[in-house]
Amino acid sequence: MTNIDPRPCVIEERLKNIKRVIAVTGWKGGIGKSVTACTLALLLARKGYKTGLFDLDFAGASDHLILGANGLFPKEEKGLEPPVHEGVKFMSVVFFSENKAVPLRGANVSDAIIELLAITQWGELDFLVLDMPPGINDAALDVMRFARKAEVLAVTTPSVLAHDVLARSLDLYKKLKVPVLGVIENMSAGGRKPKGALAVIRTDRGLEKALGRPVSLLKTRFAADLGRAVSGLF
């Protein structure tokens, strides 16, 4: 007997009232992907947009730390309704892992992500920001397969290695016909933006102290640079 998984249809239903899905992704660790995703969600909410943030990085979920989102848990009502924090509907695996490492591998990671996509009720949103699983693996590809309206916002750094991985990854997304909004180069020393980059975000030595405090985070140079970078996109 053929096993028919109803979740793809459920996911489509869950996402149908979301105008735009922005998948913030990066292909090396420590490049600022999660800080970018969180700050983008906060900036959009501050502009009055109905905004959601979904931390799908099972290997290193950290959005709750960046947002200072402690003591939250989704409400169960025909699925899970994300709690609202600083004007942003927020969902993360840490709600279920007790902030511990999640011992999942391969297909189990993909299955867990698909399950979360299927049971989360976002309602009507202008933007849903996805903090993507790192790299281009089964988990990341499954997100793009089920969140079919997703547009990629890629994060990189000035590193030669990061740029090389970026180029190869973007080429794959192009072949998969996934729309790419642009590339943000983080931790830049300033100056002219590199070829192909949407904008550069200067190194902000005060950023670390603002993590966990959304009001302070929005006052950083990092947030100002990111806001200017995406102002023409949204």
* Residue 107 phi, psi dihedral angles, 5° rounding: -60, -30
Q: What is the per-residue pLDDT across 71-122, written as a single tens digit (0 to 9) for each?
A: 888 998 788 999 999 999 999 988 887 777 666 666 787 888 889 999 999 9
CA–CA separation, 140 vs 130, rounded Å? Answer: 11
Long-range interactions of 93-100: CB distance < 8 A, separation 24+: 93/55, 93/56, 93/58, 93/61, 94/55, 94/61, 94/64, 97/61, 99/64
Element (H, E) at 207: helix 207-210
Query: Is 68 or 8 the better-scoring residue by pLDDT?
Result: 68
Q: Which pTM was predicted?
A: 0.92
pLDDT digits (tens, 9 = 90+) for 2-30: 567 788 889 889 999 999 999 999 877 78
**Distance from C-alpha of 118 to C-alpha of 114, rounded to nearest angstrom:** 6
Closest C-alpha to 61, from 21, 111, 100:
100
**More confident call, 215 vs 31:** 215
Domain boundaries, the chain: 7-230
| pLDDT band, very low/low/confident/very high, at 67 (cuts 50, 70, 90) | very high
CATH number of 7-230: 3.40.50.300
* Per-residue pLDDT at 1 exceeds 60: no
Radius of gyration of the chain (CA): 17
The answer to whether 23 touches 57, Cβ cutoff 8 Å, is no
DSSP calls for 172-192: HHHHTT--EEEEEEEEE-SSS
